[in-house]
């Protein structure tokens, strides 16, 4: 039997903006709208125009966009008690936003009506109906967000349903069942969504879940199975408290697992989530389903051997179906199959039982025993393979380096300085630089010296720096592992260094970082 189409309602710019540490400028919001529209969501809930001037400014600017797939939606509450909709400032701002779609939230939990709003239950029903009715007369498509529906139904079944009925009597086009506190479990969501669908069989039902029990994705999925035909969420799961239902997980589940038809270009999922995360200035966890860097990363030798023979033996979907890539991780548990899979791009001619493969594997295990960890440092691993195979000649030699720190910190910062001497084809170059710490000073001095020979390194920058102590009981004499992420205009790469001296570990990683850049630009 053909399954019904599921509409995707994205609330990244409204509910997502309520997450801790999230703040969007007007420009940010415009760029996210463009990304979501290009991806193919059905609705973009873009903010509450009555809440702040920035959102109203956004709605004025976004009206100039010609969206191809999405319908913009403004969000707001029902009118205040004692104020007719036509006189309510919030309702006026919703109309001024001039969107085709409006999401109106109203109370469905009697506790909130009597104890928070402090009005009568019948008064609330009248407010809901009149607000929706007024906006419908203005030609708007109305989604009624039944706030706290699941808690409300469990507290007072008949009243929660009466609120939904009032919204429908006012002309609501869609009823959104909201698990506002995020505390409802999947079995309850399925049962109550089924009851609503049976009570209002010809009505479009939407589901809006929060993740306070870690069940927002599961709750959204079971609601669809119970008859909901619209799913609300945010594209990377951001939102108030523990976040909202994560559309980047729900969408591939619906399309690839359950066979539902819904908007969204799955092959661009990985890219669009990263674009949104970058604008939101937040991280996507490596182990995030479908879009995480580790979602299709294989480390165990048996796993990798299986994937190389039959991909579905250890992968539930094709990584490329969501725009991601398969990764083979190098570690002390890796076997020859892992090595060959990882090294295939670097040296396709490498044979499984060759002396070269054995030498690389032995070198890898030796270095990992010392403290190296190549699964997080692809660039250093590539250089290691090329060095062992004789496929790589260093572009420069680090002759010497010296760092000096100052305390107290001089006015204007820059408490460290570094001097570097490098040699390229028999020619030496000495350079010095001031920096915010010795590693920063070394980085600046090295690039300053090498730019004389290799102008292409001008555009690279160190984007991340991590240090891990490997021998906790050795206190200040402990061995440390340094991971450095470097980027240019097109991509990024990670290198590694290990030493009992944090400066030496850092310089090892820095040298590899620049060597890798020079290698890929040859």
User: Percent of the chain at pLDDT above 90?
Assistant: 66
Domain-located, residue 508: yes
Distances from the Cα of 166 to the Cα of 191, 205, 274, 465, 483, angstroms? 22, 15, 41, 57, 59
Q: Which residues contact 498 (CB under 8 A, 6 or more apart)?
A: 367, 370, 371, 372, 470, 479, 480, 481, 482, 505, 508
Domain-located, residue 343: no
Domain-located, residue 65: yes
For 61-113, write each residue's pLDDT tens digit.
999 999 999 999 999 999 999 999 999 999 999 999 999 999 999 999 999 99
101-107 vs 71-77, strand pairing mode: parallel
Domain-located, residue 389: no
E strand map for 348-458: 397-405, 416-424, 427-435
Domain-located, residue 271: no
Domain count, the chain: 2
Domain-located, residue 241: yes
CA proximity to 328, closest of 353, 345, 310, 347: 345
Distances from the Cα of 420 to the Cα of 65, 434, 445, 519, angstroms? 52, 12, 6, 21
Domain boundary among 245, 264, 283: 264
Q: What is the CATH number of the domain that holds 227?
A: 3.20.20.70
| Helices of type H across 118-238 | 121-137, 149-155, 157-170, 186-199, 216-225
User: Within 10 A of 287 (CB to CB), how many other CB atoms are there?
Assistant: 10
Q: What is the CATH number of the domain that holds 426?
A: 3.30.160.270
Domain boundary among 209, 237, 264: 264
Pair 456, 517: CB distance under 8 Å? yes
Q: What is the mean pLDDT of residues 337-351?
A: 72
Domain-located, residue 335: no
pLDDT, position 476 = 65
pLDDT, position 415 = 85
Of 26-35, 258-267, 291-300, the range with the lowest mean pLDDT is 291-300
**pLDDT class of 475 with cuts at 50, 70, 90:** low
Which domain, by its residues, includes 173?
Answer: 7-264
**pLDDT class of 477 with cuts at 50, 70, 90:** low
Q: In this structure, are 254 and 403 located in the same domain?
A: no
Domain-located, residue 515: yes
Please name the helix (run of DSSP H) or strand (run of DSSP E) that holds residue 247, with its range, or none.
helix 247-252
Cα–Cα dist 244/250, whole Å: 11
Q: Is the pLDDT of residue 278 over 60?
A: yes
Cα–Cα dist 519/216, whole Å: 45
The better pLDDT of the pair 23, 475 is held by: 23
**Which residues are paired to 20 by β-bridges?**
none
For 166-213, write each residue's pLDDT tens digit.
999 999 999 999 999 999 999 999 999 999 999 999 999 999 999 999
Calculate the CA dihedral of residues 171, 174, 180, 184 and round it to 10 degrees. Answer: 120
Q: Is the pLDDT of residue 330 over 70?
A: no
Domain boundary among 264, 293, 321: 264
Q: Which residues contact 13 (CB under 8 A, 6 or more apart)?
A: 24, 29, 32, 33, 44, 45, 46, 47
């Amino acid at each position: 039997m053909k399954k019904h189409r599921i509409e995707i309602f994205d609330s990244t710019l409204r509910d997502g903006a309520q997450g801790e540490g999230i703040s969007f400028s007007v420009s940010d919001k415009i760029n996210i709208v463009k990304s979501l529209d290009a991806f193919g969501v059905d609705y973009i809930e873009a903010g509450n125009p009555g809440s702040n001037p920035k959102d109203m400014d956004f709605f004025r600017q976004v009206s100039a966009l010609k969206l191809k797939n999405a319908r913009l939606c403004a969000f707001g509450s029902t009118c205040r008690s004692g104020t007719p909709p036509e006189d309510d400032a919030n309702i006026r701002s919703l109309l001024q936003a001039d969107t085709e779609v409006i999401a109106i939230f109203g109370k469905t939990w009697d506790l909130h009506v009597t104890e928070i709003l402090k009005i009568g239950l019948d008064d609330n029903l009248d407010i809901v109906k009149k607000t929706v009715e007024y906006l419908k007369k203005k030609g708007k498509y109305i989604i009624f967000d039944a706030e706290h529906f699941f808690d409300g139904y469990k507290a007072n079944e008949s009243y929660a349903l009466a609120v939904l009925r009032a919204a429908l009597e006012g002309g609501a086009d869609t009823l959104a069942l909201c698990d506002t506190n995020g505390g409802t479990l999947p079995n309850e969501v399925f049962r109550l969504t089924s009851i609503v669908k049976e009570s209002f069989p010809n009505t479009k039902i939407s589901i809006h879940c929060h993740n306070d029990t870690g069940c927002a994705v599961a709750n959204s999925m079971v609601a669809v199975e119970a008859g909901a035909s619209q799913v609300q969420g945010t594209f990377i799961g951001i939102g108030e408290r523990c976040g909202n239902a994560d559309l980047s997980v729900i969408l591939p589940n619906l399309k690839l697992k359950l066979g539902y038809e819904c908007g969204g270009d799955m092959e661009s999922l990985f890219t669009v989530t990263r674009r949104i995360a970058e604008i939101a200035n937040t991280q996507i966890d490596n182990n995030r389903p479908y879009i995480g860097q580790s979602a299709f990363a294989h480390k165990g030798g048996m796993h990798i051997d299986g994937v190389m023979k039959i991909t579905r033996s250890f992968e539930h979907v094709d990584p490329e179906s969501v725009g991601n890539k398969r990764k083979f991780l190098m570690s002390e548990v890796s076997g020859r199959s892992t090595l060959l899979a990882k090294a295939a791009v670097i040296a396709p001619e490498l044979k499984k039982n060759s002396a070269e493969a054995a030498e690389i594997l032995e070198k890898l295990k030796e270095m990992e025993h010392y403290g190296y960890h190549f699964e997080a440092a692809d660039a250093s691993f590539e250089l290691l393979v090329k060095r062992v195979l004789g496929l790589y000649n260093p572009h420069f030699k680090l002759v010497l380096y010296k760092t000096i720190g100052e305390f107290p910190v001089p006015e204007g910062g820059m408490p460290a300085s570094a001097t570097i001497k490098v040699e390229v084809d028999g020619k030496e170059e000495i350079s010095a630089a001031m920096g915010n710490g010795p590693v920063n000073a070394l980085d600046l001095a090295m690039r300053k010296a090498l730019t004389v020979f290799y102008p292409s390194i001008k555009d690279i920058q160190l984007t991340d720096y991590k240090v891990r102590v490997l021998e906790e009981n050795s206190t200040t004499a402990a061995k440390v592992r340094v991971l450095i992420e470097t980027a240019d205009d097109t991509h990024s790469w990670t290198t590694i260094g290990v030493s009992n001296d944090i400066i030496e570990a850092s310089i090892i990683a820095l040298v590899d970082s620049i060597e890798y850049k020079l290698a890929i630009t040859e």
